[in-house]
Amino acid sequence: MITVEDIQHVAKLARLSLTADESQRFTEQLSRIMDYFGELNQIDTTGVEPMSHPIPVVNVMRDDVVIGSLGREVLMENAPLKEGAFFKVPRIGE
Amino acid sequence: MTWEPVIGLEVHAQLKTKTKIFCGCPTEFGMAPNEQICPVCIGMPGVLPVLNKQAVEFGIRAGLALNCHIAEECHFDRKNYFYPDLPKGYQISQYEHPICENGYLQIGDNKIRITRAHLEEDAGKLVHAGAAGLHGSDYSLADYNRSSMPLLEIVSEPDIRSAEEAAQYLTELRGILRYIEVCDGNLEEGSFRCDANVSLRKLGTTEFGTRAEIKNMNSFQAVRNAIRSEIERQSDLLDRGERVVQETRLWNEGDRKTHPMRSKEHAHDYRYFPEPDLMPLAIGRDWVTAVEQTLPELPVQRRKRYMESNKLSAEDANTLTESKDLSDFFDCVLALGTPAIEAANWLKGPTQAYLKENTLEFTQTKLTAENLHALCAAVASGKLGSTAAKPLIVELLKDGGDVENLIQSRGLGQVSDQGAIRVLVEEVIARSASQLQEYQSGKVKLRQYFFGEVMKSAKGKANPAVINQTLDELLPAVES
């Protein structure tokens, strides 16, 4: 069972602020999703290996070769705040 | 009450790849801020990570050297938390299925088990504006050069029982990672970082007490001091009947104490799930075998060889194998046929003193294997006295040069010429009538006076054996 408290806890971890209405709505929606997983859980999976990816492909790797940079200027263009060569972020402490 | 410390260590070792773990950015240390970043490691929308094969291979290599089982199959997971040093809002790590499991390190008589070692990406670095640190700052500055650097997190079981043993474990672990060339092991630059879980329990019991996690230790000495201080803090609490709180504490080098970390930001609710952007790994046994075949001799094997084949003491074998560079050098000296114990004596005493005094690494010296061989040979043949050899080894470390030439040009050659020494002994006896009389009447300790005077007139370069031999011959018999 998903409760409003669960939704508020997850929202806090994700730094989302929800209105009371939203909390209520998402509680109902997420409950339905969880119910669906409940249905899936009833399927007998004896002898089926758990999988971490739906596509049966393994070992996708690249060689250890340096790729040239786009340059700091370009990469920082979209930063909402910057100072010198740094990205600037709001205060962290409470 | 006697409390037994129970310590487990988590080490983050930065793997020595050329590029980051999931993108092609270089991994150099000390670059200007945000000079080695790309859309992948700063978490731009729509980018995809691609795993660096070399990082996986280094993981396998380290796992084998640490006696671990290398997983047949494993995958990456997302560890979710919100902090500005983590541009994606999650760290790609391995949770359920690490690449390495169930290893151990032998430390003295104790086997310290290694629970697991897993691959993950590093976070960026934050600079907090203003001198007050994190909590006084209005804002922070982020440098993502370190973001997505490849790490191997190596987690031990709580098998360590003292601060000293913790330091030994770390020294051995770092030594191995350096020998197999997967990590620089540089604590100051942060390529080898350690956190410690410390708890106490009543001696003789098996149940674990509440633990504190200690962070911010930047040297082996800091690890030793921090664990010692934490053991003391917890045992004071328990002695007073109080309880230890489970928390993260930071070591402070200033007051030499641990302090609770104030930030509550790192809520331990990471909601791990398999990383959908990366395909699983299936590590074939042929790959593992191929890596195994390239493993060099490890420190523990070298120590054993030095003790068994070269008859070195355990202490000397330890000193010589601490750094791979020094040990490789010693092997070169041995290959030239130099007697092991003599070579080891020069490499530990005078060489270590010189390195310490000048804060140098062995590779920064000018000493060559040929020179050390020549030096040992000169001392063995009596051409060079061991007193005169001491400044010479320092000179060879500092400037290098040719041993033969240096002995000649510095006039360091030892005089073994019996005729020349006989002249000196005769002179000393001739001008020491009263000492001679005392000697003769039974004050045999005065023999040292004669020896010393001869050596003095020879400016320290006479062969001691020849002096003694000549004294035997020329000093009168003692009256009994």
Q: Do A86 and B279 touch (CB under 8 A)?
A: no
Q: Is pLDDT at B373 greater than 90 in this prediction?
A: yes
Q: Do B84 and A85 touch (CB under 8 A)?
A: no
Q: Is pLDDT at B414 greater than 90 in this prediction?
A: no
Q: Do A89 and B142 touch (CB under 8 A)?
A: yes
Nearest-CA residue of chain B relative to A52? B274
Residues of B in contact with A86 (CB under 8 A): 33-34, 127, 141-143
Are both B312 and B213 inside the same structural domain? no
Interface subset of A 21-60, CB within 8 angstroms of B: 52-53, 55, 57-60
- Sign of the torsion angle spanned by Cα atoms B151, B190, B172, B110: negative
Nearest-CA residue of chain B relative to A70? B38
Are both B159 and B185 inside the same structural domain? yes
Task: End-to-end CA distance of chain A: give it in Å, rounded.
Answer: 32
Can you tell me the distance from the alpha carbon of B480 to that of B465, in angstroms, rounded to the nearest whole number?
A: 26
Are both B39 and B124 inside the same structural domain? yes
Least confident range of B250-264, B265-279, B402-416: B402-416
pLDDT of residue A28: 95
Answer yes or no: are the C-beta atoms of B179 and B147 closer than 8 Å: no
Q: Do B144 and A87 touch (CB under 8 A)?
A: yes
Can you tell me the distance from the alpha carbon of B253 to that of B158, in angstroms, rounded to the nearest whole number?
A: 25
Q: Give the amino acid at B180.
A: I
Beta bridge partners of B13: B152, B192
Answer yes or no: are the C-beta atoms of B177 and B13 closer than 8 Å: yes
Q: Give the amino acid at A74.
A: V
pLDDT of residue A55: 87
Q: Do B143 and A86 touch (CB under 8 A)?
A: yes
Are both B391 and B425 inside the same structural domain? no
Beta bridge partners of B91: B79
Right CATH for A4-41 from 1.20.1050, 3.90.1070, 1.10.20, 2.60.40: 1.10.20
Are both B355 and B384 inside the same structural domain? yes
What value does the CA radius of gyration of chain A take, rounded to a whole number of Å? 22
Nearest beta carbon to residue A63 from set B53, B81, B279: B53
Q: What is the CATH number of the domain that holds B460?
A: 1.10.10
Answer yes or no: are the C-beta atoms of B175 and B133 closer than 8 Å: no
Task: End-to-end CA distance of chain B: give it in Å, rounded.
Answer: 66
| Phi, psi of B359, rounded to the nearest 5 degrees | 40, 60
Q: Which two tokens stand for residue B380?
A: 């063995």
What number is the average pLDDT over the span B51-68? 98
pLDDT digits (tens, 9 = 90+) for B309-347: 999 999 999 999 988 899 999 999 999 999 999 999 999
Enclosing H/E stretch for B462: none
What is the tally of structural domains in chain B? 3
Q: List the domain boundaries for chain A.
A: 4-41
Residues of A in contact with B35 (CB under 8 A): 69, 72, 85
Q: Do A86 and B75 touch (CB under 8 A)?
A: no
| Residue A84 binned pLDDT confidence (cut-offs 50, 70, 90) | very high
Last residue of a domain, one of B362, B386, B409: B409
Distance from the A78 Cα atom to the nearest Cα atom in chain B, whole angstroms: 10
Are both B345 and B382 inside the same structural domain? yes
Q: What is the pTM of this model?
A: 0.83
Can you tell me the distance from the alpha carbon of B165 to that of B149, in angstroms, rounded to the nearest whole number?
A: 29
- Residue B262: give the domain boundaries: 3-287
Answer yes or no: are the C-beta atoms of A86 and B55 closer than 8 Å: no
Interface test with A, best of B44, B141, B272 (most A CBs within 10 A): B141
pLDDT digits (tens, 9 = 90+) for B205-222: 989 999 999 999 989 999
Are both B274 and B347 inside the same structural domain? no
Can you tell me the distance from the alpha carbon of B191 to that of B333, in angstroms, rounded to the nearest whole number?
A: 31
A74 touches chain B (CB under 8 A): no
pLDDT digits (tens, 9 = 90+) for A50-70: 888 888 899 999 999 999 888
Can you tell me the distance from the alpha carbon of B198 to that of B5, in angstroms, rounded to the nearest whole number?
A: 7
pLDDT of residue B136: 61
Answer yes or no: are the C-beta atoms of B12 and B118 closer than 8 Å: no
What number is the average pLDDT over the span B381-391? 79
CA angle A12, A14, A19 (to 5 degrees): 55
Q: Do A86 and B141 touch (CB under 8 A)?
A: yes
Nearest beta carbon to residue A60 from set B34, B51, B136: B51
Nearest beta carbon to residue A75 from set B37, B139, B267: B37
CA nearest neighbour of B222 among B178, B263, B192: B192
Residues whose CB is less than 8 angstroms from the CB of residue B362 and which lie 6 or more positions away in sequence, other chains included: B323, B325, B326, B329, B351, B355
Are both B194 and B325 inside the same structural domain? no
Can you tell me the distance from the alpha carbon of B392 to that of B384, in angstroms, rounded to the nearest whole number?
A: 10
Region of residue A59 (phi > 0: left; psi between -120 and 50: alpha; otherwise: beta): left
Are both B247 and B99 inside the same structural domain? yes
Task: Specify burial of residue B20 (Cβ count, 10 A radius: 0-12, 13-18, 19+).
Answer: buried
What number is the average pLDDT over the span B52-71? 98
Q: Do A75 and B269 touch (CB under 8 A)?
A: no
Answer yes or no: are the C-beta atoms of B258 and B214 closer than 8 Å: yes
Interface test with A, best of B28, B78, B279, B285 (most A CBs within 10 A): B279
Nearest beta carbon to residue B19 from set A15, A55, A66: A66
Beta bridge partners of A61: B51
Are both B381 and B422 inside the same structural domain? no
Answer yes or no: are the C-beta atoms of B365 and B329 closer than 8 Å: no
Q: Could you tell me what percent of chain B has a pLDDT over 70?
A: 96
Place of tokens 């050899």: B389
Residues of A in contact with B15 (CB under 8 A): none
Q: Do A69 and B37 touch (CB under 8 A)?
A: yes
Answer yes or no: are the C-beta atoms of B277 and B295 closer than 8 Å: no
